[in-house]
Structure formats: C-alpha cells, structure tokens
Amino acid sequence: EVQLSESGGGVVPTGESLKLSCAGSGFSFGSYAMSWVRRGPRRGLEWVSGISASGGRTYYSESVKGRFRIFRDNSKKTVDLQMNSLTAEDTAIYYCAKVPGSSLAVAEFDSWGQGTQVTVSS
Amino acid sequence: SYVLTQPPSVSVAPGQTATIPCGGDTLETTSVHWFQQKPGQAPVMVIYDDSDRPSGIPGRFSGSKSGNTATLTLGRVEAEDEADYFCQVWDSVSEVVVFGGGTKLTVL
C-alpha cells in the first residue's frame, strides 16, 4: 500500500524559513515524480512544486518561484520542500502527492499524504 | 496564466444526478483529472484522463469532455458525496499544474 507521510510543519514568523519533508513507502519511490500541493484557509487546492523521478527536472508555481526549492533523496525515499521568505499567503495545509509516472507532465496525482499545517504569523 | 473555471457551488437532492463543469482553453487537447476533498481529509482522485475511474471509486462517478469543457457527473448522489471537487490539468506551455477553483457540492 502506498503511504506518504509529511512532516516539518509549524508556526513561523513572516520572513522566516521552514523545511517540509515527505517520506514515501509501499512503492518504488525512485520511479515516480512527486509534487507538493497546498490548500489555504477559505481557498482551493494550489499546486506548489513538482520534481521528476530522477530529480533532474523541477517545477514551481509563479507564487513560490525563487523562494521555495524542491529536492529529493531517492535512497532515503524522501522529497523535501525548502520554503524561504514566508508570508501570510503561504499559510496552508501542505500535501505531498505522488504521480503515476516518472514525469510530472500531463499526469495526475494518484496518492496523497494527510498533509502538514504551515502557519505564517506576523 | 492558464485558468480553469468551475462554479463555486452545486446543490442536488439525494438520489439525483450532479454535474460539475470545468472550462478552459485548449481542454480538448489535454487530459483532465478530478479530485474530491472532504473537510479534514486529503484529496482523493476520482477521475483521471478525462473519463477513467481509479479502482475503489464507485461507478456513480464518471467524467466526460466536449470541446473546452470537462464534466464530472455523480449519479444517484448520496450524503457522503458532499465535498469540494477540483479539476486539474497540466499546462504544457508554462510547465505548471493548474487546478480549477473548486466546486462545493451540497446534498440537500
């Protein structure tokens, strides 16, 4: 059974940094692209970032480009999201999601973690 | 940037059929996926590649596409179907994932 488990969320002051981590199990982690998706209060789902199976391609939404960085360690079966210069707009539940293929392009998200709460306070 | 348009809300009586549209330019040339999210829970994929249903998703859920509008249809709606529903595509020009704004399905 595919399992994704996020960690690293918390309360952080505006302008500070936070690193989220997602651990995968129950599947061949290094064969699949991964993504981070968030849902803020009173908002819809918002895609944040994605990474190919090998880690060679990374993708970012305009709202986080230049502030967030995604990376993965296939030997540890983890995908992390380093978040810098956080603002109140980044307050959300952050979900880790698996893609049923090695590339993010076109594909859907077939498995999701339970999410980790990030709150940016002023 | 690419925009997917969904109605904010749809209401339906139990046992009836609910349809949730998702509109966007060039939808006819890209795959559309649908997700259900209930309060306090992670999203669940209910339809992928326009009309395919993952294992474990009831047959009451179906997807279709005509021109630049994709539609999620829920037949014989039950109280447990009350949730937010989101469509999603890959924008190949900008190389980003795009979600629709979401539709809150209320079962009367």
What residues of A are in contact with residue B88 (Cβ under 8 Å)?
A: 45, 47, 108-109
> Which of B33, B35, B97 lies closest to A35 in CB terms?
B97
Q: Give me the pLDDT at residue A107, please.
A: 83
Q: What is the pLDDT of residues B78-101, one digit of tens each?
A: 999 999 999 999 999 999 999 999
Q: Give me the pLDDT at residue B24, please.
A: 95
Q: Is residue A122 predicted with pLDDT exceeding 90?
A: no
DSSP B27-96: GGGS--EEEEE-TTS--EEEEBTTTB--TTS-TTEEEEEETTEEEEEESS--GGG-EEEEEEEEETTTTE
Give the chain A residue whose CA is nearest to the CA of B1: A62
- Chain B interface test: which of A6, A45, A58, A93 (most B C-beta within 10 Å): A45
pLDDT, chain A, mean = 96
SS3 A90: helix
Burial class (CB in 10 A: 0-12, 13-18, 19+), B55: exposed
> Which of A59, A108, A115 lies closest to B96 in CB terms?
A59
Residue A111 forms beta bridges with which residues?
A98
Q: Give me the pLDDT at residue B80, please.
A: 96
8 Å CB contact of B86 and A39: no
8 Å CB contact of B90 and A59: no
Alpha-carbon distance B96 to A91, whole Å?
A: 21
Where residue B10 falls among pLDDT bands split at 50, 70, 90? very high
CA distance B53 to chain A (A): 11
Q: What is the pLDDT of residues A17-52, one digit of tens each?
A: 999 999 999 999 999 999 999 999 999 999 999 999
CA distance B13 to chain A (A): 24
Q: Give me the pLDDT at residue B73, please.
A: 98
